[in-house]
Amino acid sequence: MELKERIGSLTNLINELEEKKKAAHHEMLDAVEFAEPEELTPEFIDWYYWDTGLSLNPLAAGLGCSTSVINKMVTPNRKLEIPCAICVHKKLIFSVKTRNERSSIIDKQKTTKKMAGRLLYLEFVKSEYICEDCKQDFRRQEELKIQKKLQKQKANKAKKIEKLVEMPYEEYLLTPYWKKFAHNARKLAGYRCEKCHRGNRVLHVHHLTYERRGHELLADVKVLCYQCHAAIHGRVVE
C-alpha cells in the first residue's frame, strides 16, 4: 500500500470514528432525557453531575426541572484534587459546591501553570494553586538572587572606594561623590560655619580625619567658612 493510500485510509477511519463518537454522544444524552423516573436516582444524579462532564440539559429535561435546581440536588462540598501548577507531584485539595466552581479552579490552575515564570513574588507565594514546597523553593531562590545582588553591589562599592582612595586628593575633591557629600554637609550645617556660626560666607568642608576617605561619615568633617578654614591650616586671610 502506497503512503498516500495509507494516509487516506487512516483519515477515513478517523472521520468514521468521529461520526460514531457524535452518534454515541447524542444517544447518551437521549438516554438520560428519556429515562424512566425511577432510573434517575439521587446516586445517578450525583454521578452524572460530578463525573460525566455531560450537559445538564438532558438531565433537567428528564427530571422536569431547571439546571439550577439540579445544583441543589447534588452532594455539596465535593472534594477536588488537582496537581500543583509547578511540580505537578503534590496534590492540592479544594472543596467545591458546583461544577462551575470546579471548572473555574481547574482553569485557574492551568493559567497559573502557564504564567508561572512571569508571576510576581507575592502572586507566587500567595497562589492557591502552588504547593508549599514549591513556594519554599521559590523563596530560597529569591533570597539567593538578593544575596548575589547585594554582594555585587558591595563589591562595586568597594571598587569605587578603592579608586577614590588612590586618586590624588585635589582630583578627589572634584568627583561627583565628594561634591554631593560636601553639599549635604553644608545643608545639615544650616549653611553656616560650624566654628564662628556666620552665614553668607564661602563654606569649605574640612576633613577631621582621612580614615574613611571615599565613604566619609558626617562626623569625619566640619563645615568652616574660608577664614576659619585658613586659620586651622595656619594661614591668614583678610
- Contact (Cβ atoms closer than 8 angstroms) between residue 125 and residue 138: yes
Q: How far apart are CA 90 and CA 82, in angstroms?
A: 8
- Residues in Cβ contact with 5 at an 8 Å cutoff, skipping those fewer than 6 apart: none
Strands 78-83 vs 203-207: parallel, antiparallel or unpaired: unpaired
Model pLDDT, residue 117:
87
Q: Which of 97-101, 126-130, 171-175, 204-208 has the lowest mean pLDDT?
A: 97-101
pLDDT in tens, 96-107: 988 999 999 999
Give all domains of the chain, ordered by start, each with its CATH number: 1-73 (no CATH), 76-166 (no CATH), 168-232 (3.40.1800)
Model pLDDT, residue 176:
95
Model pLDDT, residue 190:
95
Amino acid at 66: S
Phi, psi of 92 (to 5 degrees): -105, 135
pTM: 0.62
β-pair partners for 7:
none
The label of the residue with cell 562626623 reads 219
The CA-atom distances, in angstroms, between 188 and each of 109, 147, 218, 219, 224 are 55, 33, 9, 12, 13
Model pLDDT, residue 237:
67
